[in-house]
Structure 1
Amino acid sequence: MPDDLARPATVMYSERVLPSPLGWLLAPAAAGVMAAVFYPVDTTLAVVVGAVTLVAAVAFGLRTSPLVEVAGGELRVGDAHIPLDLLTAPRALDREQTRHELGQGFDPRAHVVLRAWARTAVRVEVDDPLDPTPYWLVSTRRPAELAAAIATGVR
């Protein structure tokens, strides 16, 4: 069954963490570079390679952009999901706090879904004695909203 058909009806928060506008500009730039590389060989080949590169770059940008969702009593991030009743203390992180969590504050056991183009995140503790994962660290452009949705679902 496709994911769209299996999505719960009670969506409290939903965000696809897409690349920034500057990131999307890399797709036509890459296409232009590839077309320029093949132009001396054959003009038609250059156009085809450029078009294929553009489509591939856009598809890559979409495919690597996780869906972050609080719905149906779960936090879903990409293909991973965890029940909200196993989570505590969601905390919205600004840029500096996110950098700290990825540096000095990083625990290698954490479940981390970060994208370089979203520089803020939410850290939420996992309260499950059977799970060795201490917390989830999730990229989002709206950390306060995501933390609030998790906190609402935890109650």
Structure 2
Amino acid sequence: MQPYEERLTAPRSWWVIAALIGVACALMLLPLGTLPMLGGLIGGAALSAVAVSAYGSARIRVVGGALIAGEAKIPASALGEARALDADEALAWRTYKADARAFMLLRSYVRTAVRVEITDPEDPTPYAYLSTREPERLVAALAAVRT
């Protein structure tokens, strides 16, 4: 089984918004002159691009007998059943079915997800909710690591 890896990159529209923020900053500084306007364009676009890139840098990996989701590293021995969630079920689990104790690596722009039970009796976290574009592949990788 190949190790699973996915990066939850931000959609292209967010990059367009980052560029438009740069334009807005430039327009705000236009009355001050050309150089401040260019500084606003470059600075505003750069700062918003850094924010979009940082938010979209979350990764999910299944390697070395563990699930690594964002900052969390969960050993395979603590993983229970993994279930792929379609768009409707994923929406339900991140809203009215959600448990406040759950670990959630969610990105609203990724419609599907995987819900993984946490079976470690020492851990109060009941499950991990992971946004993923390839839920079936992640479930298969988790099943392979648990066996």
Q: Give the direction of change, closer, same or farther, for the CA distance of 1:53–1:11 in structure 2 (3 Å limit).
A: farther
Query: Matches of 2:10 and 2:69 in 1, distance apart?
Result: 16
What residue ranges of structure 2 are gaps of 5+ in the alignment? Answer: none
User: What is the 5 A alignment of 1:74-93?
Assistant: 74-93=66-85
Residue of structure 2 in register with 1:18 after alignment: 9
Q: Which residue of 2 aligns with 1:118?
A: 110
State the match for 1:38 in structure 2. Answer: 29
TM-score by length of 1: 0.88
Percent identity, aligned pairs only, is 33
Aligned to 2:93: 101
The amino acid across from 2:45 in the alignment is L
Q: How many residues align?
A: 146
Give the Cα separation in 1 of the matches to 2:138 and 2:48.
28
Which residue is 2:40 aligned to? 49
Residue 137 of structure 1 corresponds to 129
Q: How large is the Cα RMSD of the aligned pairs?
A: 1.4
Deviations 1:57-96 (A, max 9, x none): 2211221221111111111111111001211111111111
TM-score by length of 2: 0.93
Equivalent position of 2:141 in the other structure: 149
Gaps of 5+ in 1: 1-9
Which portions of structure 1, spanning 4 or more consecutive aligned residues, are displaced by more than 6 angstroms? none
